[in-house]
Amino acid sequence: MFEPLEQELELLKAQGLYRSCRTMEAVEDGCVLIDGQWKINLAANNYLGLTRHPRVVAAAREALERFGAGAGSARLLGGTFPPHEALEEALARFKQAEAALLFPTGYMANLGTVTALLGAEDLVIGDRLNHASLIDACRLSGAEFRVYPHADADRLDEALKQRRSRYRRVLVITEGFFSMDGDLPPLPEIVQVARQHDGWLLLDDAHATGVFGKNGRGTLEHFGIPPEGILQMGTLSKALGSVGGYVAGPRAVIDLLRNKARSFIYTTAAPPACAAAALEALRVIEEEPVWRERLWGNVRTWITGLKAARVELISEAGPIVPVRSGTNQETLDLAQALLDQGVYAPGIRPPTVPEGSARIRTSLSALHTHEELTQALEAFRWAFQNT
Ligand SMILES: *Cc1c(COP(=O)(O)O)cnc(C)c1O
């Protein structure tokens, strides 16, 4: 009965596209235990090391004991607890927005937001390299869905010049710091183009929050763009070390999402302990800038070292540093060679990235020590010379 699926799986294997999960048997600052061996972890989005920060863990534990393991209900029924409310207020303040709304994950935040705001009379246009959750959201919205070439504000402008008049609403979507390419879009220009054409902008700052900007507020702060009128989406699962997604923006937008976003309404609230953890993580971000400083120090060390090792970088704008690695199979071989050398840096293959652009994606943490980075650089030098 399921033979066609077995054939499909065989095909994936033959193409070097088969996927499986590796278990992280234990974690310790910059390392993970895989198959009983400690490896330097270059695979986490835990940029500031907050998943295990004592204050964050203590906040989660306290909420866990007070409110229990699960929320027990959807947010609009019995699933809203004080940590959810406090976190929404804190996120709105942190993002300098009027209000914010939590979703169980970032994926669901994107899905719920785009589908609630747009319908068949509308146009949504996004960067070609936007995250899968944004693409799925655009498709599901029923709006006309277009993409513009990566980080190209001129092409966005041209597309909107041609099309704007045919639609009721226009939503422009870009990531702030691209998750697989590790680069920044020309955000000031994109903001301007969206405004010129009377369009809204949804900024997915999943990887930038806590990382970019003087206070870690994200890419708007990095570029010095006033946040008024911009819909800022983010996740609690990367620098904030927990799980959950959110949108921050004008009150009317947030109120509408609370009333219409299906991935907010028809799902159980994230556990209060996760919200409490993220709330404490936000406080740590505000009160302990040392983690962001260490992260950026590590980013500089890592990029300088990779260049010295003659490894070809795809970008060098922040803590996601993707490295060119050849075909899908070559990428898998390199990732395995790195693992053998004590470094966990996974290969990223299509459809996560466009066909023919497989890569090794490295991501840095504030918790990596100088010795770990030196050792990891040695492994990269060896693997790229010998694979
Ligand atoms: C990770 C990510 C998401 C999804 O966030 P989750 O909380 O992990 O569901 C959305 N957008 C981008 C750009 C991401 O990298």
The predicted model gives 173-179 an average pLDDT of 98
What pLDDT sits at residue 361? 97
3-state secondary structure 195-236: HHCCCEEEEECCCCCCCCCCCCCCHHHHHCCCCCCCEEEEEC
Share of the chain above pLDDT 90, in %: 98
The CA 233 to ligand 1 mean position distance, Å, reads: 9
Residue 125 pairs in a beta bridge with 146, 172
CB 171 within 8 A of CB 203: no
Closest ligand 1 atom, residue 245 Cα? 7
Quote the pLDDT of residue 39.
98
Average pLDDT over residues 320-342: 96
**Tokens standing for 300?**
């500089």
Gyration radius from the chain CA atoms: 21
The torsion angles phi and psi of 16, rounded to 5 degrees, stand at 70, 30
Q: Is residue 16 over pLDDT 90?
A: no
Average pLDDT over residues 351-355: 91
Taking CA atoms only, the protein residue closest to ligand 1 atom 5 is 106
Mean pLDDT along residues 152-177: 98
Instruction: Indicate the residue type of 100.
Output: A
What mean pLDDT is predicted for residues 327-334? 94
pLDDT at 387: 85
CA of 106 to the centre of ligand 1 (A): 5
* 91-106 tens-digit pLDDT: 999 999 999 999 999 9
> For 221-244, what is each residue's pLDDT tens digit?
999 999 999 999 999 999 999 999
pLDDT the model gives residue 162: 97
How many Cβ atoms are within 10 Å of 77's Cβ, its own excluded? 12
Burial of 164 (0-12, 13-18, 19+ CB in 10 A): middle
Q: Quote the ligand 1 centre to 3 CA distance (angstroms).
A: 33
Closest C-alpha to ligand 1, atom 14: 206
Residues 273/281, Cβ–Cβ less than 8 Å = no
- Distance of CA 111 from the midpoint of ligand 1 (Å): 11
Determine what percent of the chain is predicted with pLDDT higher than 70: 100
What is the pTM assigned to this prediction? 0.97
Average pLDDT of 268-279? 98
The pLDDT score that the predictor gives to residue 329 is: 92
Based on the residue annotation, tell me whether 363 is a catalytic residue of this protein: no
Q: Output the six-digit token pair for 314.
A: 């795809």
| Ligand 1, atom 2: closest residue by C-alpha | 206
The pocket around ligand 1, CB under 6 angstroms, is made up of 105-107, 110, 131, 133, 175, 179, 204, 206-207, 235, 237, 245
CA distance 60 to 56: 6
Centre of ligand 1 from the C-alpha of residue 297, in Å: 25
Q: Please choose from 111, 131, 267, 348 the residue to mutate so as to test ligand 1's pocket, defined by most ligand atoms within 8 A of CB.
A: 131
- Please indicate whether residue 315 is annotated as part of the active site: no
What average pLDDT is seen over the chain?
A: 97
Which residue among the candidates 238, 242, 325, 368 is catalytic per the annotation?
238
Annotation marks residue 39 as catalytic: no
Tell me how many degrees the CA angle 366-241-259 measures, rounded to the nearest 5.
140
Question: What average pLDDT score do residues 250-272 get?
Answer: 98
Residue 156: predicted pLDDT: 98
β pairing state of 359-363 and 320-324 = antiparallel
> Is 134 within 8 Å of 204 (Cβ atoms)?
yes
Active-site residue, from 53, 131, 197, 207: 207
Residue 244 has what pLDDT? 98
Helices 328-340/370-386 angle, 10° precision? 130
pLDDT exceeds cutoff 90 at 28: yes
